[in-house]
Chains A and B, each alone.
Chain A
Amino acid sequence: MTDVRPHQDIATPAGDIAKPIKSELLHINMGPQHPSTHGVLRLFITTDGEMVTKVVPYLGYLHRCAEKIAEGNTYHQYIIYTDRMDYLAAMNCNWTYCLAVENTLRSLGVEVEIPEYAEYVRVIIGELNRIASHLIAFGTYGLDIGAMTPFFHALREREAILNIFEKVCGARLMYSYYDVGGVKWDIPDDAMDEIKLFIDLFPAKLDEYNELLTGNKIFVERTANVGVLDAATCIDYGCTGPVLRGSGVKHDLRKDDPYSIYDRFDFDIPVGTGTVGTVGDCWDRYHVRMLEMYESWRIIQQAVDRIPPRGEVMAKMPKNLKVPPGQGYYRAENPKGEMGFYIISDGGTVPFRCKTRSPAFHNLHIIEHVGKGQMISDLCATIGSLDLVLGEIDR
C-alpha cells in the first residue's frame, strides 16, 4: 500500500475530441465528529480516490488548560484533574501524579514512607484499571473494523471492574482514589471477594475474545500488514506503551525502571512478533494489548495472594502539603504508554509549574507518518490500533 498514484491529469485514449479528464484530490475533514476518531480528534485528510495522500491531525477541541489549572490548585486538589486526562485509566493517571509528587518530595529531602498495604492496593487497583483500559481499546478496535459485538462483551467485563472500583472508592469513572502518600481508603472485603471472582473468570473471557475477534480471518486480513511502524520510527516519534512494544521493542517501565513494588512480581513484557504479518502492524499492536491483559491478570493474582493484612493506607503527611523549592520528574507505565509529570515548586502549597507528558499525544503524531498512502479503511484501523484518548492528548 505504499505506492501512491501521483496527483496528475489522467490522459484519455487518443482522439481529437477527448480532452484529458481532470482529476482532483479530495480534502475531507475526518472529525471532530467522526465515529472512528475516538473523541474529538480532527484529521484533515487529502485523498486520491480511496487512497489517503496526506493526514494532518488538528488538536485542541478538548483543551481544558489542565497544566495552567495545576498552578492554582494545591497538590491534593490537582489529583482530581489527573482523573480527567486519561479518563479510561484514571487510576493510573492518579498514581503517576502521586508518584511524581512523592518522588519530588523525596528528592528534596522530605521522607515519604508509603505503607506496604497501600503499595499492594495501588498495584491491584492500577492493574485492574489497565485491564479496563485495554478492554475498551479491544472493544473499540472491533468497532473500527466493523465488528460490534466484541465491544459490548468487553464493556460487560469492564463493568465488573467498575463495580469493584465503585465499592472501593465510590465512583465509576473519575476515581481520585490515589492520594499523595498512599490511597484514600482500603479495599473492603466484598470488593476483595469480587476481585478474586474476577481473577477466576477473566482468562476464559480472554480466550473467548481471541476466538471471536483475534483469530477471525477477516479481522486478520484487515489488520495484518496495515499501518506498519518500525522500531526506529516509533522511537523517533517518542511512541511508548503498546505502540512501541508492538514494533518489537521490549520497553516497559514496570520492568526497565521499576517503581512502586513491581520488582516483586513475576510477569513478562509481550512484544509484537509479526505472527500474521509484519512486525509492528496493527494486529501486533492489538495483540500486545490482549497479551498485556493476561500479564496484568497475573500481577493481580500474585498481589492478591501476597497482600499484607489490612493496615494503614496513608503515609504520615502534613495536612497542608508544601513541597520545598526544587523540581522533579517522574514517569510511570500507563495503559497507553509512558506518562510523566514534571513538577517545579517554589516552596508553596501549589506547584509553580506542572508539565504533563502524556503518551497518547506522542502516539498520535505518528499518524502523519504512517497515514500516507493508506486507504481510508486502513487509516481508521491504524487510528484504532494507536488507542488514542483525547482527554490526555489535549489535556
Chain B
Amino acid sequence: MHETLSNLPLLSGLPAQVLVVLAMVSAGGIILGCIAVGGMFFIWSERKVAGYIQSRYGPMYVGGWHGVLQSLADGVKLLLKEDIWPEKADKPLWRMAPLLVFLGAFLSFVVLPFGPNFVGANLDIGLFYVMATSSLVVMGVISAGWGSNNKWALYGALRGAAQVISYEIPLGLALLPVVMSTGSLNLGTIIQAQAGWIHNWHLLNPLFFVSFWIYVISSLAEVNRVPFDLPETESELVSGYHTEYTGMKFAFFFLGEYADMFVVSAIGVTVFLGGWYSGIPALDVPALFPLIFILKSFFLVFVQIWLRWTLPRLRVDQLMYVCWKVFIPIALANLLLYGVIRTVLS
C-alpha cells in the first residue's frame, strides 16, 4: 500500500519510512471505519430481526426509513454518557479490557480475503493467525471481569475464559480437514480451491459436511452468542463481564462482539462456502468478488441472529459437556476418517 501512496504527487517527496507508517495508519483507519459502520449495521439489523420475530417493529424513527440510523444515535449517546468508574476497580485492567476485546476482532480483519487482491495482508498462515487473534478476546473478557471488582462480572469472566478456551479446540479441529485438503493455511488459496461451479464448495463435499456444522456451532460459542452466551447471561449474571461498563467502553465491547461475529462468519465463508466465488462461473468477475464475499458473510451473521432469538441458553456444565464429549470426539473422528479416506484414495 505504501507504494500506492508514494505515487501520489503530494506525498512523493516523503521518505519511505514515513510512507510505511502513513500506509499502516490509513489502512487501520479504513478497517476501523469498516468495523464501526458494519457493527452499527449489524446492531440495527439484529434489532430489526428480533423485532419481526417477536411480532414488533424494532427501531422505526431515527434516520427515516425503518430507523436505519438508530445505531448511530445510540453511538452518539454512548459517547456523551458519563464514564462511571467503580471505586475499587483495578484501573489498568479495567481500562485495557474493552480495547483488548476490540483488538481481537480488529486484527482478524487484516487477513480477511474480500477478493484476490482485496486483502489487508496476504499471510501464508492466515487461518492460524485468525485463530490466534480471535482468542485475544478472552484476555479482554478476563481482565474486564477481574478489573471490575464485581462478583457477577467475575463469574462472567471465568465462564467466558473456560468457554472460549474449550471451544477453540473443536473449532480448530473442524478446520483441519480443509487445511489437509488444500494443503495451505493461506485463506486465498483455500478459496481458490473452491473455484468453479457450486459443487466445488467445501460445504457440499460430504467429507467436510460434519466439519461445517461443528465449525458453525463452535463459532457461536467463540463469539459468546446464544445458545452459548454464558459470559453475559443477562438473566443470571445481570450482564456478565461488562456489568460495570458504561458509555464508550461498553460501546467497544458491543462493537467488538459484532465485529467478531462478522469475522467468524467470514472465515466460515472462506473455508466452507466458496469465499468470493458465487458458485456460477459466469458471475465470477473480479469486481463482484468483495460483494459476494460480504453478502455470504452477512447471511451467516443473519443465521447467528436468527438463532439468538429462537433458542434458550445452555448451562455451564452442559456447555462443557457439549464441547468435550460431543464436538471434540466427533471432530477427531472426522479428522481421522478424512485422513484415512484421503490416503486410500491417493
Write the residues of chain A forming the contact surface with B, with a CB cutoff of 8 angstroms: 26, 28, 34-36, 50, 142-149, 152-153, 156, 212-213, 216, 218-219, 221-222, 375-378, 380
**B155 close to chain A: CB less than 8 A:** yes
CA distance A213 to B310 in the complex (A): 9
Partner of A222 from B234, B309, B312 at Cβ < 8 Å: B312
For A140, give the chain B residue with the smallest CB separation. Answer: B235
> Would you call A146 and B54 a contact (CB within 8 A)?
no
Render B286-313 as a binary contact track against A, CB cut-off 8 A, 1 for contact.
0000000000000000000000011111
> Would you call B155 and A218 a contact (CB within 8 A)?
no
Contacts of B313 in A (CB 8 A): 145-147, 218, 222
CA distance A11 to B238 in the complex (A): 33
Per the 8 Å Cβ criterion, residues 53-100 of B in contact with A are 53-56
> Would you call B152 and A143 a contact (CB within 8 A)?
no
Can you sample 29 A-B contacts with CB below 8 Å?
A: A28-B152, A35-B234, A36-B235, A50-B155, A144-B235, A146-B227, A146-B233, A146-B235, A146-B312, A147-B310, A148-B309, A149-B53, A149-B54, A149-B309, A152-B55, A153-B55, A212-B310, A216-B311, A218-B227, A218-B312, A218-B313, A218-B314, A221-B318, A222-B315, A375-B317, A377-B236, A377-B315, A377-B316, A380-B235
A35-B235, A146-B227, A375-B317 given; A152·B56 CB < 8 A? yes
**B199 close to chain A: CB less than 8 A:** no
Contacts of A221 in B (CB 8 A): 314-315, 318
For A378, give the chain B residue with the smallest CB separation. Answer: B315
Q: How far is the CB of A93 from chain B (nearest CB, A)?
A: 27
Contacts of B226 in A (CB 8 A): 146
Partner of A50 from B151, B310, B316 at Cβ < 8 Å: B316
For B159, give the chain A residue with the smallest CB separation. Answer: A50
Contacts of B152 in A (CB 8 A): 28
> Would you call A376 and B236 a contact (CB within 8 A)?
yes
Contacts of A219 in B (CB 8 A): 312
**B244 close to chain A: CB less than 8 A:** no
For B232, give the chain A residue with the smallest CB separation. Answer: A146
**B229 close to chain A: CB less than 8 A:** yes
CA distance A147 to B312 in the complex (A): 4
For B239, give the chain A residue with the smallest CB separation. Answer: A35
Partner of A146 from B50, B229, B316 at Cβ < 8 Å: B229
For A141, give the chain B residue with the smallest CB separation. Answer: B312
Query: By DSSP majority rule, is chain B's interface helix, strand, loop, or mixed?
Result: loop
Contacts of B227 in A (CB 8 A): 146, 218
Render B250-285 as a binary contact track against A, CB cut-off 8 A, 1 for contact.
000000000000000000000000000000000000
CA distance A375 to B159 in the complex (A): 13
CA distance A148 to B73 in the complex (A): 25
Going nearest first, the 4 A-B pairs with the smallest beta carbon separation are A146-B313, A152-B54, A147-B312, A145-B312
A218-B314, A221-B314, A222-B312 given; A148·B54 CB < 8 A? yes
Q: How far is the CB of A21 from chain B (nearest CB, A)?
A: 15
A149-B309, A216-B311 are known contacts; what are 4 more A-B pairs with Cβ within 8 Å?
A: A50-B155, A146-B229, A147-B310, A148-B54
For B310, give the chain A residue with the smallest CB separation. Answer: A149
Contacts of A156 in B (CB 8 A): 55
> Would you call A216 and B235 a contact (CB within 8 A)?
no
> Would you call B235 and A222 a contact (CB within 8 A)?
no
CA distance A380 to B238 in the complex (A): 11
CA distance A375 to B234 in the complex (A): 16
Partner of A35 from B229, B238, B316, B318 at Cβ < 8 Å: B238
> Would you call A216 and B238 a contact (CB within 8 A)?
no
CA distance A222 to B226 in the complex (A): 14
Q: How far is the CB of A155 from chain B (nearest CB, A)?
A: 9
CA distance A378 to B227 in the complex (A): 16
CA distance A198 to B52 in the complex (A): 23
A146-B313, A148-B54, A219-B312 given; A34·B238 CB < 8 A? yes
- Of the listed residues A144, A149, A213, the one surrounded by the most CB atoms of chain B closer than 10 A to its CB is A149
Q: How far is the CB of B24 from chain A (nearest CB, A)?
A: 42
CA distance A212 to B312 in the complex (A): 10
CA distance A366 to B101 in the complex (A): 41
For A145, give the chain B residue with the smallest CB separation. Answer: B312
CA distance A284 to B247 in the complex (A): 43
Q: How far is the CB of B299 from chain A (nearest CB, A)?
A: 21
Contacts of A28 in B (CB 8 A): 151-152
Contacts of A145 in B (CB 8 A): 235, 312-313
A50-B316, A218-B227, A221-B318 given; A147·B311 CB < 8 A? yes
CA distance A134 to B44 in the complex (A): 32
Q: How far is the CB of B10 from chain A (nearest CB, A)?
A: 53
Q: How far is the CB of B43 from chain A (nearest CB, A)?
A: 16
CA distance A28 to B234 in the complex (A): 16
CA distance A149 to B227 in the complex (A): 13
> Would you call A375 and B315 a contact (CB within 8 A)?
yes
For B55, give the chain A residue with the smallest CB separation. Answer: A156
For A221, give the chain B residue with the smallest CB separation. Answer: B318
- Of the listed residues A26, A146, A378, the one surrounded by the most CB atoms of chain B closer than 10 A to its CB is A146
